[in-house]
């Protein structure tokens, strides 16, 4: 099991933070905090994400959205706890900015045949601040800002914390651990 004990903050000028190790199926615990003095509205207010499988540069992969969703309106499949542009969370248990939030995630990676075709889709279960928000949700492919999701073959992939391009203050993370599953 890998563990990050100290607090880290995504530096938006430097870019995403990505694990050196790659993973397939796993359980993830991660705590994160929107700054108390956050500014902006909608998707420009504390935007980040946890990419459960980073399959390429930038935003390629499968994103569990992080956003200030405490009294901040945005589209339903872009709020905190959503599988970005695919899965609307069952409820919004977001705490106010300045308070630590928690994700507990079970990630089941997609399975591909030798020719690259999809054999079994990816699934995700997410508890957000102890509340179930995604219940064994079946992903339609990689999460995308524009266009339809699609699957592309990979075996294992790093986990990535997004350095989103919005102008709000960056997000902090702590108490990150990963437990691989068979």
* Per-residue pLDDT tens over the stretch 10-59: 776 776 788 999 999 999 999 999 989 888 877 867 778 999 999 998 88
Contact (CB, 8 A) for 51 and 162:
yes
In angstroms, the first-to-last Cα distance of the chain is: 13
Contact (CB, 8 A) for 168 and 41:
no
Could you tell me what percent of the chain has a pLDDT over 70? 93
Could you tell me what percent of the chain has a pLDDT over 90? 66
Total number of domains constituting the chain? 1
User: What band does 164 get if pLDDT is binned at 50, 70 and 90?
Assistant: low
User: What band does 4 get if pLDDT is binned at 50, 70 and 90?
Assistant: low
**pLDDT score of 3 more than 70:** no
Spell out where 110-171 has E strands.
111-112, 118-120, 123-128, 131-138, 160-161
Give the pLDDT confidence score for residue 5 in this predicted structure. Answer: 57
d(CA 147, CA 137): 20
User: What band does 115 get if pLDDT is binned at 50, 70 and 90?
Assistant: very high
d(CA 150, CA 60): 11
Cα 44–chain centre separation: 17
Give the pLDDT confidence score for residue 162 in this predicted structure. Answer: 83
* Domain containing residue 105: 2-181
DSSP letter at 76 equals G
CATH number where 74 lies = 2.60.120.560
123 or 76, greater pLDDT: 123
Report the candidate in 2, 18, 20, 1 with the shortest Cα–Cα distance to residue 10: 18
d(CA 159, CA 148): 22
Cα pseudo-dihedral 31, 37, 42, 46, rounded to 10 = -30
């Amino acid at each position: 099991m890998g563990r990050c004990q100290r607090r880290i903050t995504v530096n938006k000028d430097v870019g995403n933070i990505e694990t050196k190790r790659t993973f397939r199926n796993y359980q993830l615990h991660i705590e994160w905090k929107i700054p108390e003095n956050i500014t902006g509205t909608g998707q420009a207010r504390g935007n980040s994400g946890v990419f459960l499988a980073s399959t390429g540069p930038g935003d390629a992969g499968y994103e569990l959205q992080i956003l200030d969703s405490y009294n901040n309106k945005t589209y339903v499949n872009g709020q905190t706890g959503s599988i970005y542009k695919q899965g609307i969370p069952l409820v919004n248990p977001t705490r106010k900015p300045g308070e630590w939030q928690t994700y507990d995630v079970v990630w089941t990676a997609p399975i591909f045949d030798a020719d690259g075709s999809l054999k079994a889709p990816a699934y995700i279960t997410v508890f957000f601040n102890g509340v179930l928000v995604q219940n064994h949700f079946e992903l339609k492919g990689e999460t995308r800002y524009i266009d339809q999701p699609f699957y592309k073959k990979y075996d294992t992939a790093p986990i990535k914390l997004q350095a989103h391009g919005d102008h709000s203050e960056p997000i902090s993370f702590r108490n990150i651990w990963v437990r691989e599953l068979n």
